[in-house]
Amino acid sequence: MMKFDASRHLSIIPARGGSKRVPGKNSKLLVDKPLLAWTIDTVLKSQYAGQVIVSTDDQKIAQIAREYGAQIPFIREESLASDNATTSDVVIDCVERYEAAKGVCIETITLLQPTSPFRTTQTIAAAVEKFIEGNGETVVSLAPSPVPLEWMATLDSNDVVRETSFGEDQSDSSLYYYTGLIYVFSRQTLRDCNDLYTEQVHGLVTNCQVECIDIDTPEDWALAEVVAQGLRSK
């Protein structure tokens, strides 16, 4: 089993300034603090936080990150803040620049999207511990599919419902979707695969629907506000 070294672990929060469906969402107030701050606050409370850094192209977001305790070792290049930039591109750039600036060799990385503000420290711990137990194979967060495949249908060109047909092995209720809550992977994987994923990927299942809320649309934001207000009132 591999060991966890906090001094060689990065918790990366990617937060670009551009957002089309919810403009400025990463710096927008979700009840009493910016959306980005929800993720920073949670990861800083985790025993597996390591070095918490925010990768952003936006000075306002950078200032928020600093105010809430995250590091901003550099500002992301504009080319890596476009719609065409991949998550892997952003992470590789972030790790390489951090290593060069700090003179340290990173071993492990956690990726935390700020659009999932309700993840818990328990989920972070479970993901990192599963990664350690798996000797460095990538861990991703999953949640049970809200509907089974047999409930699915299609529409033809005349809007007539057509039932879909699946084999017995495909209609299993044990279906999951990627939540984007958390990814844990090694520096070696980035170096060898130029990607976040090992050949075999382990899934961490999260059953809490609140935790799996991912803010991408105005409707998502409205739902998140209701949830956040409820959490604050407790």
- Set out the domains of the chain in order of their start, with CATH numbers: 6-233 (3.90.550.10)
Decide: residue 146, CB within 10 A, 0-12 exposed, 13-18 middle, 19+ buried: exposed
Task: Give me the mean pLDDT over the 101-122 stretch.
Answer: 97
Dihedral sign computed on CA atoms, order 127, 133, 139, 143: negative
Task: Give me the mean pLDDT over the 145-169 stretch.
Answer: 80
pLDDT at residue 168, as a whole number: 56
Give CA–CA dist 76/54, Å, rounded.
10
For residue 102, give Cα distances in angstroms to 98, 99, 176.
Answer: 6, 5, 39
Residue 140 dihedral angles phi and psi, to the nearest 5°: -125, 155
pLDDT at residue 174, as a whole number: 75
Q: Is the pTM of this model over 0.85?
A: yes
Least confident residue range of 53-62, 161-170, 212-221: 161-170
Least confident residue range of 15-29, 60-74, 169-183, 219-233: 169-183
pLDDT at residue 206, as a whole number: 95
Give CA–CA dist 58/109, Å, rounded.
22
Q: Is 159 left (phi over 0), alpha (psi -120 to 50) or beta?
A: left
Confidence band for 175, pLDDT divided at 50, 70 and 90: confident
Task: Give me the mean pLDDT over the 196-216 stretch.
Answer: 96
Least confident residue range of 16-25, 109-118, 169-178, 208-217: 169-178
Task: Give me the mean pLDDT over the 17-27 stretch.
Answer: 90
pLDDT at residue 133, as a whole number: 96
How, if at all, do strands 29-30 and 153-155 pair?
A: unpaired
Distance of CA 219 to the CA centre of its chain: 20
Confidence band for 163, pLDDT divided at 50, 70 and 90: confident
Least confident residue range of 104-108, 152-156, 181-185, 193-197: 152-156
Nearest Cα residue to 110 out of 70, 52, 176, 177: 52
pLDDT at residue 77, as a whole number: 93
Give CA–CA dist 187/220, Å, rounded.
33
Task: Give me the mean pLDDT over the 188-198 stretch.
Answer: 96
Q: What is the mean pLDDT of the chain?
A: 93
